[in-house]
Structure 1
Amino acid sequence: MFQMRSSKRLWGSLSSVILLFTACAVSPERFTYRKSEVCILDHPYIHKYPQIRRTCCNDARKKYYTTWNTIEGPLMQYFEKLESWKCDIMKEECSRRPYAITPYSEMVYRRFCNVTEFRRECLDSILQLTTRKSVLPRSNDSIPDEEWLNILKPLKEIATTENIYKKPCLQIALHDVMESGRYHEIINIQMPFCALTWCGMTADVSGFDKISDWTCLSRGCRANVVIIIITCCIMSLTVIIANVSVITVFIRTRKSMNSQGVFKLSIAFADLLVGIIVIPTFISTTYLYVFQKHTGPSTLAYTSNFSNKSYSTFPPKYRASEGYYDTVGFLTATSLFVSVYTLFIAGFDRLFAISKPLRFRSYKTKKIAKYSICVIWIASLIFASIPMFSRLDNLQYGILTGVFIALRGEVAMIIYAVTLFIPTIITWVNTALLLIAIKKHSAATRELQTAGEVENQDGVRGIERQLARTLIIMVGTFTLCVLPIAIVAATQPFMPSVNFDFVHIPDAKSLTAVTSIEFLSIMILASNSFWNCLIYNIRNRDFRQEMKKLFSIRGTTCESTKNRN
């Protein structure tokens, strides 16, 4: 009897354990699952367990909010998920509408938040395009799904034209009539002087192979793109001519090849790199981001999991290879590093020449300058190549302001501060000391001239002072050119609503304004490669005469040929 009671108690305990284990196994809070396998329309857990549905909905929102700025998530697919899963956050999205920042994205919200209003608003546009006669419903009636699809069917046979992309109603209607295939969204948020561009289309319509960002740009934005390209061509040609002339004059004129001449020659080569490589890449990058077709294998496609539809975008990271970004970023950084470090060393050279003139002449300063330039170029090449071999995601070359490729990420500001900002600050301090030294020596020279004690040395010291003043003007010009982009870069981390690396809820007007200001700042920085030639012409009479000879050589040759004949 005792054994029977014991066995019953044991069996009861085992049954309780089994029931508890079963309950834990089926409870969504207890068992583990993969979101990629569960968060699909036909999975039984989505509608059976509210906790799983909430998890999938929140995960979809988090993923879209963190990837919209990298153009890796179609808005249409995001709303299809929320609608298919019957997410509670759909009401919140429709109330806040954080991405209703363009006519297209605003119409997407209307389509999923109030489909009756959307259909009534877009009916006239669709009927005008399809030339299909239909009995219009009364003002308070909704258009049934079957009737709506019948109205949209002629859109399948319509070829893709630019008129379609001016009408968001037609773009979204193409999605509704699509039973299978791929729906593609074009998003461009970094083009200067352009409002955010956003449109959508099906990849099955006739003419899709000609689609690019240019297709969706407004007329004003297209005009701005053309102006940007023309401006870059003119600036590149101007910088090349100016710095080739500087290099030619310094090489041909032995008198100018002192220590400062060596430094100026180094800066001219760095500026020539800007004219030949950096500024032309503004044009090539504009082509990749505006004119490149969206039909390549690099287009980022997403399988729907809800139907036979798929979705795609063309993210910036796929519009050019890593080699393109690394090469352009490397050359851009090299030219900038060389300019900063050359001015940095040249400042000490002038300060030494003014404050210790006798000791300065006793050193082989020209030879020291050549060694310094070699070290500067080697160090610049090493610093600029670090991101190319880095495996850190926040230490890579990437696109800025739609045209400019540079180091970006959280570590970029630290590297720029150490390698550029600190040397620039020291250069400014050195320039201030140089100004003080020039004033002191000018006063001392006037006193000696009054006493008649310095007659032979005045010419030498005058040249040294002239070189020092020229360097001060060069540093001042460089400061004015680099200051705008430095201010923009320093303030962006404190403005998350316009920082492309962190922004989740966009402010369309602010993004457009900041992008345009960044572009202007970069163009001002690039213009520094031209001003040095102008400074030499104004400050140095010998250089000015050599420039005249250089550009009059053709006329001289023609006259000598005529005289011979």
Structure 2
Amino acid sequence: MDNNLSSSLNCIKIYHHDELTVPRTVLTALVALLIVCGNTLCLICLRKTVAFPDTTKVFMTSLSVADLTMGVLICAPSTISAAASRWLLGSVSCLVTAHLNFYLVAMSVLSLLMVSVDRYLAITRPLRYQTLLTSYRAKIVVAVVWLSALITSLVILFLGGLHVCYDAMLNICIPITAPGKSMNLQTLTCFVVVILVSYLSTIAIYVRLYRIARNHANRIHDVSDQFNPDNRFHRHPNSKATVTFAIVAIAFGVAYIPMIAIAVDFFISNKGCPLLLCGLASVCTLSNSWWNVVIYSIRTASFRQSLKSLFRRSSLHVDT
């Protein structure tokens, strides 16, 4: 690889942080390993667990595939770049990963939206749920959403042009208007519209589900008090699967809000963010792709048991 070509891909913002090269590389490599291993285990365990309906598993699989692809195609190259403090894989791969990053983030949040809609139908239409949304229809929905997100990403690619640069602090390739210029307006606008609207819709659905569950619990509480006035206690909504996915959705926001804020600030001021803030935001964003596995394991006994069984069989194979 031509060093001049690699250097020319760097954004104008130049950072001198040689003392962070080793720890950042190790941390990025660890995150990549957690993403790949965690989501691979998640895909295996989803086939065995009985805690979720088949349609829900389809949407959860979509989320895990998006996260796994993020680990392989985005986080792994970022590890190489972190070690060299510049992009070593060529201009074409920088362009592809810049837009692929948008595509995979969009698919993550859209998968969360599909899960929330699935939960909404299961709770508000319990008698029709199994006929209204079958496993086959869920797979069709997932295929359509993946294709629509891909088309959107390609539209952004052609509207925004083919200019990208490697941001050494954020450790990612970003689309820009022209060499030496700021982040592309079309890219930022589409990113905010697709990601933010989808995410806010997901949160709104879970807020609605919480209110439904709370009202239902209060009605049960009132009826119970009529027959047993002395047994008064406060009931909380108890839909464990819904709460689990709500936690996953909130975790997504926690992971991506800092990076979105940095991107918006960069577009407005065309200045780099503080070194520590950029580093933490980048790691936090990438880490979201393995948090889901931990949340499933903590919240779902069946999923946790599937993981234990998988590790137990693996250890037996190693011993033999």
For the criterion TM > 0.5, the same-fold answer is yes
Q: How far apart, CA to CA, are the structure 1 residues paired with 2:314 and 2:291?
A: 25
- State the partner residue of 1:404: 172
**Is 1:475 the equivalent of 2:242?**
no
Q: How far apart, CA to CA, are the structure 2 residues paired with 1:331 and 1:257?
A: 30
From 291, 308, 332, the equivalent of 2:101 is: 332
* Structure number having the greater helix percentage: 2
Q: Do the aligned partners of 1:258 and 1:366 also contact (CA within 8 Å) in 2? A: yes
From 102, 127, 138, the equivalent of 1:358 is: 127
Q: Do the aligned partners of 2:102 and 2:191 also contact (CA within 8 Å) in 1? A: no
Alpha-carbon spacing, 1:468–1:386, altered in 2? closer, same or farther (3 Å): same
Q: How far apart, CA to CA, are the structure 2 residues paired with 1:243 and 1:333?
A: 19
C-alpha distance after superposition, 1:166-195 (max 9, x if no partner): xxxxxxxxxxxxxxxxxxxx997443xx4x
Q: How far apart, CA to CA, are the structure 2 residues paired with 1:245 and 1:447?
A: 44
- State the partner residue of 1:539: 299
- State the partner residue of 1:384: 153
Alpha-carbon spacing, 1:187–1:425, altered in 2? closer, same or farther (3 Å): closer
Q: How far apart, CA to CA, are the structure 2 residues paired with 1:372 and 1:406?
A: 30
- The aligned amino acid for 1:353 is A
From 222, 231, 244, the equivalent of 2:18 is: 222
Q: CA deviation at 1:445?
A: 4.5
From 36, 40, 62, the equivalent of 1:240 is: 36
Q: Do the aligned partners of 1:334 and 1:380 also contact (CA within 8 Å) in 2? A: yes
- The aligned amino acid for 2:284 is I
Q: How far apart, CA to CA, are the structure 1 residues paired with 2:98 and 2:164?
A: 6
Q: How far apart, CA to CA, are the structure 1 residues paired with 2:31 and 2:303?
A: 23
From 253, 260, 265, the equivalent of 2:61 is: 265
**Is 1:278 the equivalent of 2:78?**
no
Where structure 2 has 5 or more consecutive residues not aligned to the other structure, the ranges are 1-6, 176-182, 228-236
Alpha-carbon spacing, 1:350–1:397, altered in 2? closer, same or farther (3 Å): farther
Q: CA deviation at 1:397?
A: 4.0
TM-score normalised over the length of structure 2:
0.81
Which of 1 and 2 has greater Rg? 1
- State the partner residue of 1:441: 216
Q: CA deviation at 1:528?
A: 0.5
C-alpha distance after superposition, 1:423-467 (max 9, x if no partner): 122222222112112212333455567789xxxxxxxxx99x221
TM-score normalised over the length of structure 1:
0.48
Where structure 1 has 5 or more consecutive residues not aligned to the other structure, the ranges are 1-70, 73-185, 195-220, 291-315, 453-461, 501-510
Q: How far apart, CA to CA, are the structure 2 residues paired with 1:442 and 1:546?
A: 31
- State the partner residue of 1:484: 258
C-alpha distance after superposition, 1:303-359 (max 9, x if no partner): xxxxxxxxxxxxx8xx76331112212332222111111111221221222122223
Q: How far apart, CA to CA, are the structure 1 residues paired with 2:158 and 2:225?
A: 63
Q: Do the aligned partners of 1:401 and 1:518 also contact (CA within 8 Å) in 2? A: no
* Number of residue pairs aligned between Structure 1 and Structure 2: 296
Residues 126-275 of structure 1 correspond to what in structure 2 (within 5 A)? 189-191=13-15, 194=16, 221-253=17-49, 256=52, 258-275=54-71
Q: CA deviation at 1:372?
A: 1.4
Q: What is the CA RMSD across the aligned residues, in angstroms? A: 2.9
